[in-house]
């Protein structure tokens, strides 16, 4: 197996292009490392991108927050810019694994894992995040994050590197609700990320994203539409939560939880997330 540590973004892209489908990008290696050591098929070349400086930046330009793909969950949970401009991402990051994992696991790895219960991916969906992707063939392009996730697919197409995510500023009315069985250090059975914006006491725009409720992380589009234009009350939150559970979620049965229990969790956690996200606005109105 060939191994490279490119120092510059262009160098990484040239290597990715040259080795195409046989190359894999290493970030925190918490997921890919064990897979490779168990003998993942067809991987001939490893690109450890830790030296590429662009991948570590967190930068706010007044309009959006740009987070480099190698920023770790711990940095996301603690970074002042992230907590101010993308608080939902900071909230979700604080629930990733245990501290040992948060110190190493990266936002780019979380997205590229394709895991249907990935906390950061779920929060980013509810933030309308955009993935900044670079390749030799297509240059730099921006792709809405909901187009990245496909069932049973991990990573990006061959030759492409996830450089950063860009998140529109705002999202102060946000909440992350996660169900686990031991209250620490666990993948979500189900998690719900909610981000709301209000206009004249009504929900202008709702973003609701679900983890563990389908073969991929998922936007609950039906529930978002059910809430848009309405006041946020217990009744409207409950109605939206039922749409999320009955129409949007496509939960799987597996050894961790039954589909029926997951559907129940989607309803409960969506209701809680909406009410928690709306609490500042509802408090102001009261």
Partner 1 sequence: MHPVTLYVNGEKHELVVEPLRSLLETLRDDLGLTGTKEGCGTGYCGACTVLVGGDPVNACLYLSVDADRKAITTIEGLADENGALHPVQRAFVENTALQCGFCTPGMILSAAAFIADDPEPSESGVRAALAGNLCRCTGYQSIVRAVLDAAKHMRDAGRAGERPGRRALIRARA
Residues that bind partner 1 (CB under 8 A): 1, 3, 5, 26, 29-30, 33-34, 36-37, 46, 48, 50, 74, 97-101, 103-104, 184-185
Minimal distance, residue 31 CB to partner 1, in Å: 9
Beta carbons of 56 and 77 less than 8 angstroms apart: no
Of residues 34 and 151, the one with the C-beta less far from partner 1? 34
Of residues 15 and 203, the one with the C-beta less far from partner 1? 15
Minimal distance, residue 175 CB to partner 1, in Å: 19
Of residues 97 and 222, the one with the C-beta less far from partner 1? 97
Of residues 179 and 237, the one with the C-beta less far from partner 1? 179
As given in the structure block, the two tokens for residue 50 are 């830790």
Q: Count the Cβ atoms, other than its own, within 10 Å of residue 222.
A: 17
Minimal distance, residue 198 CB to partner 1, in Å: 33
Q: How many angstroms separate the CA atoms of 123 and 150, rounded?
A: 17
Minimal distance, residue 97 CB to partner 1, in Å: 7
Minimal distance, residue 33 CB to partner 1, in Å: 6
Q: How many angstroms separate the CA atoms of 21 and 157, rounded?
A: 8
Of residues 80 and 141, the one with the C-beta less far from partner 1? 80
Least Cα distance to 24 among 34, 14, 36 occurs for 36
Of residues 29 and 227, the one with the C-beta less far from partner 1? 29
Tokens 């909610």, located at residue? 194
As given in the structure block, the two tokens for residue 118 are 């990935």
Q: How many angstroms separate the CA atoms of 107 and 113, rounded?
A: 10
SS3 227: helix
Q: How many angstroms separate the CA atoms of 143 and 181, rounded?
A: 35
Minimal distance, residue 30 CB to partner 1, in Å: 5
Q: Count the Cβ atoms, other than its own, within 10 Å of residue 260.
A: 10
Q: How many angstroms separate the CA atoms of 209 and 228, rounded?
A: 15
């Amino acid at each position: 197996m060939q191994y490279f540590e490119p120092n510059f973004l262009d160098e990484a892209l040239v290597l990715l292009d040259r080795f195409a489908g046989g190359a894999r990008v290493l970030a925190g290696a918490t997921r890919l490392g064990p897979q490779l050591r168990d003998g993942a098929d067809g991987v001939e070349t490893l690109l450890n991108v830790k030296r590429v400086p662009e991948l570590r930046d967190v930068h706010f330009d007044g309009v959006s927050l740009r987070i480099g793909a190698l920023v770790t969950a711990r940095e996301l949970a603690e970074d002042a810019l992230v907590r101010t401009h993308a608080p939902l991402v900071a909230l979700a990051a604080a629930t990733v694994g245990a501290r040992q994992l948060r110190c190493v696991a990266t936002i780019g790895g979380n997205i590229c894992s394709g895991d249907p219960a990935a906390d950061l991916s779920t929060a980013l969906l509810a933030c309308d995040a955009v993935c900044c992707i670079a390749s030799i063939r297509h240059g730099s392009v921006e792709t809405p994050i909901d187009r990245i996730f496909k069932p049973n697919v991990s990573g990006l197409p061959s030759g492409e590197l996830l450089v950063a995510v860009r998140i529109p500023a705002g999202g102060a009315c946000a909440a992350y609700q996660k169900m686990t069985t031991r209250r620490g250090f666990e993948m979500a059975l189900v998690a719900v990320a909610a981000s709301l914006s209000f206009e004249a006491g009504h929900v202008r725009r709702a973003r609701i994203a679900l983890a563990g409720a389908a073969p991929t992380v998922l936007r609950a589009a039906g529930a978002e539409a059910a809430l848009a234009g309405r006041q946020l009350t217990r009744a409207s939150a409950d109605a939206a939560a039922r749409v999320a559970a009955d129409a949007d979620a496509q939960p799987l049965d597996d050894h961790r939880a039954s589909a029926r229990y997951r559907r129940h969790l989607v309803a409960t956690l969506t209701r809680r997330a909406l009410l928690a996200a709306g609490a500042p606005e509802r408090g102001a109105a009261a």
